[in-house]
Amino acid sequence: MQIKKVEVIPFAVPIRGFADAYTGFTTSYAVLVKIYSEDDTIGYGEACAWEPEFYGETLESVSSTIEKYIAPRIVGQNLFNINRILAIVDAHLARITCAKEGIDLALHDLLARTLNVPVHTLLGGCFREEIAIASEIGIDTPEAMAEKATEVVQLGIRVVKIKGSQDMGMDVKRIKAVREAVGDEIELRLDPNAAWTTIGTIKTMQEVESCNLQLLEQPVAGWDLKGMAHIRNKIGIPLMADESIWTPQDVIKIAEYGAADIINIKIAKSCGLALAKKIETVSESFGLPCIVGTEIEPGFSLIAKLHLAASMKVHPLASEFTELSLLKKNILKHEIDIKDGCVKVPGGPGFGVELDEGVFESVIVKEPVNNFV
């Protein structure tokens, strides 16, 4: 079964205002990728394009890269050889991850639809049919963040991740305000997005020890594994790596340095599902459990995350689906219900969901967008 055609459509879904240590935004930008087989079956993928400050890829660059450099090389390829197709793409395009994510997801969806199986079957099968979820709250005043955390809890989510900033003193006030607002039964995580210093992190964690955080995520730069290891040895809670993890080789370095207790896998960073599974496998070999992280995924990539989490042998903590508390529109013909802090994995062939053409038409980007603003 050969690939017949590749189509890309940039779109933008409005979200509730959100800020992290890199930037602030009110829109989740992405590129819908449609890959057609010979019999006109369509596989749907989605490429993250909302934070060029971190990824270095924009709505325009993702679209043009797929159209001009990837599509011509994969049309005519045998759909059943996903790894070979991805290897061809890697051989011609280094580093970029978001454009490759869109292709990877569409290939998995198309092959699974062709075989009439769920995507998680292609990933090795399903360990769980419901995924425990967490949601982030963006940087704001302590009072506003406490209110947002309460709203997240009211949605049925039992794990809240607090975003940190370069102002560690203010972050202490934010953490304490959120803990007071949500009470002791809600799990709290903290993620400064690499904006802190090693010594500052240790001091700050001492100041919030009474807040009983579930974990601390990537307080210092991704390259600073020595700093991560030092922090891990000085704090009393698990340390999760995010910015440090892009490839399976990164996990090996983390293990060698003793720089983390848990790995956050983001499919926009891992170029999609195929490499994400390799990261999980290497992590498991070092005894490092994984979760699936969030990049405010607006549609098919959100569902792809559910299938990835379902396929993980070890999934001890909630994976992150901040998008469920932020998205103002649902481009899928699928209602995502949160019950007892969990979301069900869709059944059916492929990702198990379909595009809502009516809603999607309203979010298609028809003019150039400067998403650096």
Q: What is the pLDDT of residue 367?
A: 74
pLDDT-derived band at 370 (thresholds 50, 70, 90) equals: low
Residue in 200, 189, 206 with CA at minimum distance from that of residue 224: 200
Q: Which residue has 């150039």 as its token pair?
A: 368
Q: What is the pLDDT of residue 366?
A: 83
| Least confident window among 51-55, 161-165, 222-226 | 51-55
Average pLDDT over residues 296-310: 97
All domains of the chain in start order, with CATH: 3-117+356-361 (3.30.390.10), 121-344 (3.20.20.120)
Per-residue pLDDT tens for 32-80?
A: 999 999 999 999 999 999 888 899 999 999 999 999 999 999 999 999 9
Q: What is the pLDDT of residue 279?
A: 98
Q: Is 200 strand, coil or helix?
A: helix
Average pLDDT over residues 110-123: 98
Q: Is 296 strand, coil or helix?
A: coil
pLDDT at 372 over 60: no
Written as six digits, the tokens of 4 are 């017949």
pLDDT-derived band at 229 (thresholds 50, 70, 90) equals: very high
| Least confident window among 16-20, 50-54, 65-69, 125-129 | 50-54
Q: What is the share, in percent, of the chain residues with pLDDT greater than 90?
A: 96
How many contiguous H segments (helices) and E segments (strands) does the chain have? Answer: 15, 12
Q: What is the pLDDT of residue 371?
A: 55
Question: CA 203 to CA 119: how far, in whole Å?
Answer: 44
Residue in 132, 135, 102, 137 with CA at minimum distance from that of residue 306: 132
Per-residue pLDDT tens for 319-340?
A: 999 999 999 999 999 999 999 9
Mean pLDDT across the chain: 96
Question: CA 205 to CA 164: how far, in whole Å?
Answer: 12
Per-residue pLDDT tens for 132-151?
A: 999 999 999 999 999 999 99
Average pLDDT over residues 100-129: 98
Q: Is the pTM of this model over 0.85?
A: yes
